[in-house]
Amino acid sequence: MLTIDSLAHSLDNYLEPELIQQVKKAYLFAEEAHTGQTRQSGEPYISHPLAVASILADMHMDHQCLMAALLHDVIEDTGVPKHIISKEFDSQVADLVDGVSKLNTMLFESRAEAQAENFQKMTLAMAKDIRVILVKLADRMHNMRTLDALDGEQRRRIARETLEIYAPIANRLGMNNVRVELEELGFRALYPLRSSMIEKAVNRARGNRKEVVGKIQESIAQCLKRYGIEAEVFGRQKHLYSIYDKMRSKRKSFYEIMDVYAFRIIVDKVDTCYRTLGAMHNLYKPVAGRFKDYIAIPKANGYQSLHTTLFGMHGLPIEIQIRTPEMETIANNGFAGHWLYKSTEESPNHIRAREWMKGLLEIQQSTGSSLEFIENVKIDLFPDEVYVFTPLGDIYDLAQGSTPIDFAYAVHTDIGNTCVACRINRHLAPLSATLDSGVTVEIITAPGAQPSPAWLNFAITGKARSSIRHALKHQQLNESIALGGRLLNRTLATYNTSLEDLPEETIQRVLKDRKAQNMDELLSEIGLGNQMAYVITRHLLTLETDHQEDQHGPLAIMGTEGLVVTCARCCKPIPGDPIIGHISAGRGIVIHTDTCRNMQDLRDKPDEVMTVRWDPAVNHEFSVELRLELEYEKGIIAILASTITNEDANIEHIGMIEKDARLGIVNVVIAVRDRVHLAQVIKRLRLLKSINRILRTRN
Ligand code: MN
């Protein structure tokens, strides 16, 4: 049975004694934390992290990686917080444990198969330190080895996840041994019937093949001897899952796959590899186009070898791989093999691993081969993307720093344009929140909703920004045309006419004089306040009469006209306040209270001021600002807030402006329907003992 002592003993040959002590300390901590917990098999829980650490010890991983393996379930299963691990050990170990726990919380179940690749990417993206992945792979390996203890449903889910996510990740990292074991265990657990059928067929075929394999192996060995090359020659077994996968993906029959004879030749050095290749091509005729030199041009995951296919006796195809022992180790252990080889040098292993990956990036740049692995490793080295889910489990990749607005536009422009709110992991969240990898984002839309200019402050993706700008421009144009039409028809009505009644020539002449392409353009200019409605009216009617106040009454304001009619921020008018409109160039009509100080100077500029009134049907909330002078007491802000909300008014902002020991001044911005509503709120506030004075702030 595996114990901490046997693990420590196996570390003797590559770790310093004081580092082994730290590993032991991590073991004791984990053992204590998991006290009383058992695995589904009934064994004490600590046997699992110990086994995971031992798998990593076989790969000669560093002491931090082993400590993280021992502690990997402590945060999740025993509730020990990260900062305790950081204090007890070090922050790197704590980061590793935390990273593994985060990976675990991503739920893989019920996700569509087509998404598997994105999960692989996401898994890599979420791990800032590649050792997190190595611990996770070892964890999964041990779970797969002990899968029998679980019930059918759980077993299938874990097996599927292993085949779809973890085995391919091991493959990307070049960890062939890990990949093969995960695939074989996953295949048996997920498809017990298919795997046992293939296994039986392989055993039957192997009996028939034995003699042929022996003959070929013998002739290869004889040939190498003649050339004076010392080598080890192995017949390669095909694994069940890879046979199944080939049958399925390449639509080959079982016998087509089994009829290939595969051998591996291990020789001392690179030079000998090429000499061996020459010898083999002399022994049997090579198949044209099948020779690959992965020694001169390694695969992106670091794999090196020579591959060739020969026509053997009776035309049987023979696949040959030729490599050195070091290449063999890298081929089997990939990423981890690198540790295995260089763990005696001074610099820490994970730093060297990063250099190794950077080296791979250079290989990729120089050869121009764009293998996916590189893309994924790049994400790990330079994380610049986040991966988020739709509620249905589709994955979108977005630039780092993206917000729900970016996500909404990534899904569809219409979703972005009509977005009003969002949920992140089922909780309502601001549209400006920064998204993290792995979260689920749900966008809430409303028919007729429109983008807000404020979104440009936090949308970062090009698609979202250009769509918002486009929509705003369009929105402002439509609104200004509509407002311009209302303004112009209103003044025309005072002369008992309307745009429809005017002859086309007159309109065309005025458009030409005013340098407008068409009527919409002129109306938009009026709506934006760049042209005066009554000036255009006189022009249209070729009247010289003075502007006179219309009998049809002032323009009715709803407060929901959009970008071209806005309430002034200085005096914050609300329905019930007497108001006037200020036609402000480029901004449309700005509504002020008629006592607003900013309007005093404009009184005698009739071009810029127009009479307006509240539409009786107005049904909308308006902001208003109150200044409360009060005797300060503890909890006063909470009391104010509940008093205001009890009157059904929304608080938009509340803040203490001044405060000494006794007196305080509080500023509140609330949303109310009209003056009656405001009066109710004020009345209720006056009942509070501590309030001395209430002022509605204007300017
Ligand atoms: Mn575990």
Domain holding 443: CATH number?
A: 3.10.20.30
Catalytic residue among 31, 77, 184, 629: 77
Query: 420 — phi, psi (to 5°)?
Result: -125, -25
Residue 227 belongs to a domain: yes
Distance between CA 370 and CA 372 in Å, rounded? 6
Residue 465 belongs to a domain: no
Q: Same domain for 67 and 113?
A: yes
Q: Is residue 500 annotated as part of the catalytic site, yes or no?
A: no
Q: With 0.85 as the threshold, say if the pTM is over it.
A: no
SS (H, E, C) 475-498: HHHHHHHHHHHHHHHHHHHCCCCC
Residue 361 belongs to a domain: no
Q: Same domain for 240 and 309?
A: yes
Q: Same domain for 607 and 647?
A: no
Last residue of some domain: 557, 586, 614?
A: 614
How far apart are the CA of 15 and the centre of ligand 1, in A? 24
Last residue of some domain: 288, 305, 340?
A: 340
Query: 448 — phi, psi (to 5°)?
Result: 80, -5
Distance between CA 37 and CA 125 in Å, rounded? 32
Q: Same domain for 593 and 488?
A: yes
Q: Same domain for 592 and 558?
A: yes
How far apart are the CA of 332 and the centre of ligand 1, in A? 24
Q: Same domain for 137 and 228?
A: no
How far apart are the CA of 47 and the centre of ligand 1, in A? 10
How far apart are the CA of 16 and the centre of ligand 1, in A? 27
Q: Is residue 230 annotated as part of the catalytic site, yes or no?
A: no
Query: 534 — phi, psi (to 5°)?
Result: -75, -30
In the numeric block, which tokens belong to residue 662?
Answer: 């006794």
What is the extent of the structural domain holding 523?
470-614
Distance between CA 499 and CA 487 in Å, rounded? 11
Residue 348 belongs to a domain: no
- SS3 (DSSP) at 652: strand
Domain holding 276: CATH number?
A: 3.30.460.10
Q: Same domain for 58 and 79?
A: yes
Q: Would you state the pLDDT for residue 347?
A: 38
Residue 376 belongs to a domain: no
Longest dimension (CA), the chain: 117
Last residue of some domain: 550, 585, 614?
A: 614
Q: Would you state the pLDDT for residue 188?
A: 94
Please check whether residue 182 is in contact with residue 167, taking contact to mean a CB–CB distance below 8 angstroms: yes
* Mean pLDDT in order along the chain per 10 residues (699 residues): 89 89 94 91 92 91 91 89 91 87 57 50 56 88 90 87 82 83 95 90 82 89 93 87 86 79 93 94 88 80 86 84 89 66 42 48 41 39 65 79 94 93 90 86 91 88 87 86 88 85 85 87 85 82 52 70 81 88 82 82 72 84 90 83 88 80 85 92 90 84
Catalytic residue among 76, 328, 372, 385: 76
Residue 158 half-sphere exposure toward CB, CA atoms < 13 A: 23
What is the rounded average pLDDT for all residues in the chain? Answer: 82
Sign of CA dihedral 9, 10, 14, 16: negative
Residue 158 belongs to a domain: yes
Q: Using one digit for the tens of pLDDT, what is the confidence trace for 164-210? A: 778 877 877 778 889 999 999 999 999 999 999 888 888 888 777 88
Q: Would you state the pLDDT for residue 143?
A: 93
Please check whether residue 105 is in contact with residue 126, taking contact to mean a CB–CB distance below 8 angstroms: no
Q: Would you state the pLDDT for residue 120?
A: 55
Residue 410 belongs to a domain: yes
Please check whether residue 96 is in contact with residue 68, taking contact to mean a CB–CB distance below 8 angstroms: yes
Q: Would you state the pLDDT for residue 117?
A: 55
Q: Using one digit for the tens of pLDDT, what is the confidence trace for 329-339? A: 878 877 665 55
Domain holding 636: CATH number?
A: 3.30.70.260
Q: Would you state the pLDDT for residue 336?
A: 64
Please check whether residue 319 is in contact with residue 246, taking contact to mean a CB–CB distance below 8 angstroms: no
Q: Which residues contact 249 (CB under 8 A, 6 or more apart)?
A: none
State the pairing for strand pair 261-267/317-323. Answer: parallel
How far apart are the CA of 49 and the centre of ligand 1, in A? 6
Q: Same domain for 558 and 663?
A: no
Q: Same domain for 626 and 595?
A: no
How far apart are the CA of 425 and the centre of ligand 1, in A? 24
- Single out the residue of 657, 698, 650, 652 nearest to residue 677, CA to CA: 650
**Cα distances (angstroms) measured from residue 407 to each of 123, 201, 390:** 20, 50, 9
Q: Same domain for 69 and 186?
A: yes
**If 0-12 CB within 10 Å is exposed, 13-18 middle and 19+ buried, where does residue 241 land?**
buried
- Single out the residue of 329, 348, 331 nearest to residue 340, CA to CA: 329
Q: Same domain for 185 and 109?
A: yes
The DSSP 8-state label assigned to residue 688 in this structure reads: S
Counted domains in the chain: 5
Please check whether residue 388 is in contact with residue 439, taking contact to mean a CB–CB distance below 8 angstroms: yes
How far apart are the CA of 101 and the centre of ligand 1, in A? 9
- Single out the residue of 47, 55, 44, 94 nearest to residue 72, CA to CA: 94
Distance between CA 217 and CA 574 in Å, rounded? 94
**Cα distances (angstroms) measured from residue 43 to each of 4, 24, 158:** 15, 20, 20
What is the total residue count of the chain?
Answer: 699
Report the chain's terminal Cα–Cα distance, integer Å: 80
Q: Using one digit for the tens of pLDDT, what is the confidence trace for 621-656? A: 899 999 998 888 778 888 888 889 888 888 888 888
Q: Same domain for 213 and 280?
A: yes
Q: Would you state the pLDDT for residue 544?
A: 43
Domain holding 165: CATH number?
A: 1.10.3210.10
Q: Using one digit for the tens of pLDDT, what is the confidence trace for 27-42? A: 999 999 999 999 888 8
Residue 250 belongs to a domain: yes
How far apart are the CA of 141 and the centre of ligand 1, in A? 10
